Amino acid sequence: MTTVSPQSSAPEPFDFAREVDELVRDTAPRLFAIVEEYRPGTEDADAFVVAWGLAYADDSAEVIAVEGHRRWSLTAAEHIVRYFGRAEDLSARLVWLTGPGSEGNTEAYAA
C-alpha cells in the first residue's frame, strides 16, 4: 500500500512499523502512583509511594500495593485514594506520572 503526501506527489511506501508504534503510544495506559503523606505542610512532613496503577482509556484502573499482595480493579483511578491515608496526620493522593502528550505530569487528586 502506498500513500501520497500533500507536500509531494511521489507515493511513499506504507510504514507498518511506524503505524504499530503510533497504535501502541495512542492506546497505552497512563501510569500513576498513590502517595501517602504524613503531616504535610509541617517540619516533620514525609511521603511514601504505597501503590502503583494503570488507568485505561475507558477510565478503569488496576492498582497494586507496593507492600503485600493487595490489588484493586476500579471504575476510575481517582477512586483508589479512599483506600489509603486513613490514619491521623496521614493523607493520600493520586499522582499521574505520564499523560497524553506530556512527560512528568504530576497532577494530583487528594483524598
Is residue 82, in this structure, part of any structural domain at all? Answer: yes
CA–CA–CA angle 81, 83, 88 (5° rounding): 90
Is residue 12, in this structure, part of any structural domain at all? Answer: no
Q: What is the pLDDT of residues 37-86, one digit of tens each?
A: 999 889 999 999 999 999 999 999 999 999 988 999 999 999 999 999 88
Q: What is the pLDDT of residues 83-105, one digit of tens each?
A: 998 898 999 999 999 655 445 55
Around Cβ 95, how many Cβ atoms within 10 Å? Answer: 16
Is residue 8, in this structure, part of any structural domain at all? Answer: no
Is residue 10, in this structure, part of any structural domain at all? Answer: no
Whether the CB-CB separation of 33 and 95 falls below 8 Å is answered with: yes
Is residue 84, in this structure, part of any structural domain at all? Answer: yes
Is residue 77, in this structure, part of any structural domain at all? Answer: yes
**Could you tell me where the DSSP H helices lie in 30-101?**
none
Domain that holds residue 106: 29-110
Whether the CB-CB separation of 61 and 45 falls below 8 Å is answered with: no
Q: How many domains does the chain have?
A: 1
Is residue 78, in this structure, part of any structural domain at all? Answer: yes
> What is d(CA 81, CA 76) in angstroms, rounded to the nearest whole number?
11
